[in-house]
Amino acid sequence: MTPAEILRRDLATLSAALSLEPAGARLEIRVLLGHALGVNRAWLIAHEHDELPAAPLEKYQALLARRLAGEPVAYLLGEKEFFGRSFHVTPAVLVPRPETELLVELALEKLPPAGRALDLGTGSGCIAITLALERPDCGILAVEQSAEALSVAKQNAVRLGARLGFYPGSWFQALPADTEKFDLIVSNPPYVAEGDSHLAALAQEPAEALASGADGMDDIRLIVQGAPAWLKPGGWLLFEHGWDHGEACRDLLKQAGFCDVETRADLAGIGRVTLGHVCARL
- The rounded distance, in Å, linking the Cα atoms of 270 and 267 is 7
Asked if 274 contacts 238 with a C-beta cutoff of 8 angstroms, the reply is yes
Nearer to ligand GLN, 54 or 200 (CB): 200
Distance CA 123, CA 98 (A): 15
Q: Which lies closer to ligand GLN via its Cβ, residue 94 or residue 150?
A: 94
Radius of gyration for the chain, computed over Cα atoms and rounded to the nearest angstrom: 21
Smallest distance from ligand GLN to CB 150, Å: 17
- Cβ proximity to ligand GLN, 94 vs 162, nearer residue: 94
Query: Least distance in Å: CB of 69 to ligand GLN?
Result: 19
CB nearer ligand GLN, residue 36 or residue 220: 220
3-state helix, strand, coil in the chain (%, to 5): 45, 20, 35
Bridge pairing between strands 182-187 and 116-120: parallel
* Smallest gap from residue 189 Cβ to ligand GLN (A): 6
CA-based nearest residue to 88, from 171, 30, 26, 148: 148
For residue 246, the SS3 value is helix
Give the CA angle between residues 71, 76, 82 to the nearest 5°. 100
Distance CA 222, CA 228 (A): 11
Question: In the complex, what is the shortest distance from the CB of residue 210 to ligand GLN, in angstroms, rounded to a whole number?
Answer: 5
Give contact residues for ligand GLN (rule: CB under 6 A): 94, 97, 188, 190-192, 202, 210, 240
**156 or 212, CB closer to ligand GLN?**
212
Q: Of 44 and 103, which CB lies nearer to ligand GLN in the complex structure?
A: 103
Q: Please state the closest distance from residue 84 (CB atom) to ligand GLN, in A.
A: 20
Please give the Cα distance from 48 to 84 (Å, whole number): 28
Min CB(188)–ligand GLN separation in Å: 5
